[in-house]
Amino acid sequence: MNFDWAVIIANAKFLLLQGLVGIGAYGGGTLRLAVPAILLGFCIGVVLGLARLANRPWIHYPAVIYIELIRGIPLVMVIFWFWFLVPVLIGRPVPEYWVALTAFVIFEGAYIGEIIRAGIQSVPRGQADAATAAGLSYAQTMVHVILPQAIRNMIPSLVTQFIVLFKDTSLASIIGMMDLTKAAQTVSERELRPFEMYLFIAVIYWMFTYSMSRVSQWLERRMSPERAA
Amino acid sequence: MAGEDFSSPVFSLDMIFGFLGISYEFRWPVLWVEPHLTWLIDGILTTLRLSAISWCFAVFLGILFGAMRTVPFRPLRAVATVYVEFFRNVPLLVWLFFWYFGAPEVFPEFIRQWFIRHGIEFWSGVAAISVYHGARFAEVIRSGIQSIPRTQLEAGISSGLSVSQTYRLIIIPIALRLIVPPATNESLNLLKNTSLAMTIGIAEITFASRQIETYTAKAVEALTAGALIYLVLCLAISTIMNHLEKKFAIPGLIARGARAEH
C-alpha cells in the first residue's frame, strides 16, 4: 500500500477550516466546542469543588452525589442522555452543538471539581486558620489566601484534564456534530482513504494536546520558583 | 401477554414528569421483555470481555514502555517516549476508527483473513483500546518507578544483577505495589472507554441500550439501564481494588501513590 499524500492535501482545507475551527456550512468545529467547554467546565468545577468542601450538609451531599454519579458513567452515555432527553424536556429538537456543549460542561465539571477539591485540600490547614485569625472572612480567605496557592498546586492536573476534554470533543461526532473526527469520517467515506485521513487528524489532535502539555510543564516551572534548581 | 403490557407506568418518575408538565410515558418493562433483556446481558458480557482482554494487553504494554522510559539507555527511552506521547495524546475515538477502517488495509492478507474470521470489529477495538491505554498505563508505571529511590537500582546492580534482572526482580514488583490507586483509576477509565467501541459496531452495553431505544423509542428507560450498569460495574471494581490496595500496601510506607497522568 502506498501512502497517498494528495488526498490529504486536497482535503486539508475542509478538515482544518470546517472540522477544526468550525467555519463552513455545517457549524460545529472542534475548537469552537472545546474552548467554551473548557471555560464553562472550569466554572462549574470551581463551584462543585467548593460545594464538596462545604460544611453544610445540604450543600455538601448534592455535590458528592453529582460528582460520584457522573464519574461512574462514560461520557458517551452522558451525551446520549442529553441527546434524547433534552428534546423530551423542552419539547423541541436541539442542535448537536448545544447538546454536546451541555454534556461536556456537565461531565467535565465533575472531574474538574475533584481536582479543585484536591488542590484546596493540599493547602495546609494552618493557612486558613491564620487568615481567619487575622480577621478575613470566608470569601476573603478563599480568594486571597487559599485559591492562589491551591491553583498553583492544581495546574498540572487541570491542564491534564483540559487535554482530556480536548480529546473528548471527538465524541461529539457520534451524535453527528461536524468536528475534526466527523470531517475525517465524511472525507474518508468519499475518498476511501481511511488510513491517511485518520492518521492526519491524529497528528492534528496530537499537535494541540502535546503543546498544551508543554505549556503546562513550563507554567509549573515558572510558578514554583522555590523548586527551580 | 402480560410481559408486553408496555402501557402500565410503574415508576414514580412519571409523577415528577407529570408535575413538570412534560408528557412522557414511562414503560420500564421494555427492559426485561425478550429479546431486550438478552441484548443487555450480552452487552454486559461483551463489555467485560473487551475490557478484560484489552486490560491485559494494555498492562503488558504499560509495564514494558513504562519501564523503558526509565532505563539508563537513551535509544530505548526515546522509543518509549515517542510511543507514549503520540498514542495517549490522540483521542481514543480516532484510534478506533484508525484501527477499524484504516489499519487492516496495510496488514498482509492472511492476518486480515484471520481478523475477519474472528470478528474484525472486536479485535480492532481490542487493538485500539490496548494501544491507547497501554500508553496511559506506561505513564502511571513510569511515575511509580521514578518514585522508587535510585539507590535500589544501584544496589541491585552492585550485588551482581543485570539491569533487566534488577528491573524484573526488584524495581517492577515494588512499583506495581505502589501504583495500585492510580492504576485502579486508569482501569476504570478503560472500562468506561470501552463504551466508544459501539461506534465500530461492537455490541457492548452502550450499543445494547441504544438498540433498545431504537426499537422501542423509550430513551429514558434504555439509557437509565445503561448508565446504571456502568455505575454498578465501576463501583464493584473500585471496591475490589480498595481491598487489594490494603492487601498489597507496602508496610511502613506512607501511601505516596504516583500521580495519575491523563
Distance CA B141, CA B126 (A): 21
Cα end-to-end distance, chain A, whole Å: 51
The answer to whether residue A76 neighbours chain B at the CB level (below 8 Å) is: yes
- From chain B, the residues in CB contact with A198 under 8 A are 94, 97-98, 101-102
pTM to 2 decimal places: 0.85
Alpha carbon of B220: minimum distance to chain A alpha carbons (Å):
7
pLDDT, tens digit only, all 229 positions of chain A: 677 787 777 777 877 778 788 787 777 788 889 999 999 999 999 999 999 988 888 999 999 999 989 988 999 999 998 888 888 777 788 888 899 999 999 999 999 999 998 888 888 888 888 998 999 998 898 888 888 888 888 888 888 889 999 999 999 999 888 888 888 888 888 888 888 888 888 999 999 999 998 888 888 788 766 654 4
Q: State yes or no: cis peptide before B75, omega within 30 of 0.
A: no
Distance CA A131, CA A128 (A): 5
CB contact under 8 A, A171 and B93: yes
Provide the CA A134 distance to its chain's centre, in angstroms. Answer: 37
Which cell numbers in the block locate residue B176?
506495581
Closest-approach residue (CA) in chain B for A180: B94
Per the CB < 8 A criterion, the answer to whether B219 and A88 are in contact is yes
Q: Which amino acid is at A211?
A: S
- From chain B, the residues in CB contact with A76 under 8 A are 195-196, 198, 206
Alpha carbon of A57: minimum distance to chain B alpha carbons (Å):
23
Q: Which residues contact A209 (CB under 8 A, 6 or more apart)?
A: A163, A166, A167, B89, B90
Q: If chain B, 262 residues long, is cut into consecutive pieces of 10 residues, what is the mean pLDDT of each piece?
A: 47 66 73 83 93 95 92 90 92 91 81 82 92 93 87 90 89 86 89 92 90 84 90 90 82 48 40
CB contact under 8 A, A194 and B102: yes
Distance CA A47, CA A229 (A): 36
> Domains of chain A: which residue ranges?
5-227
Distance CA B194, CA A76 (A): 10
CATH fold of A5-227, please?
MetI-like fold (1.10.3720)
Alpha carbon of B173: minimum distance to chain A alpha carbons (Å):
27
> Domains of chain B: which residue ranges?
49-248
For residue B176, what are the CA distances in angstroms to A84, A144, B51, B202, B240?
Answer: 42, 40, 20, 32, 16
For residue B201, what are the CA distances in angstroms to A34, A80, B97, B207?
Answer: 27, 16, 11, 8
Provide the CA A55 distance to its chain's centre, in angstroms. Answer: 28
Distance CA B141, CA B138 (A): 5
Number of A:B CB contacts under 8 A? 120
For residue A165, what are the CA distances in angstroms to A103, A179, B237?
Answer: 11, 14, 24
CATH fold of B49-248, please?
MetI-like fold (1.10.3720)
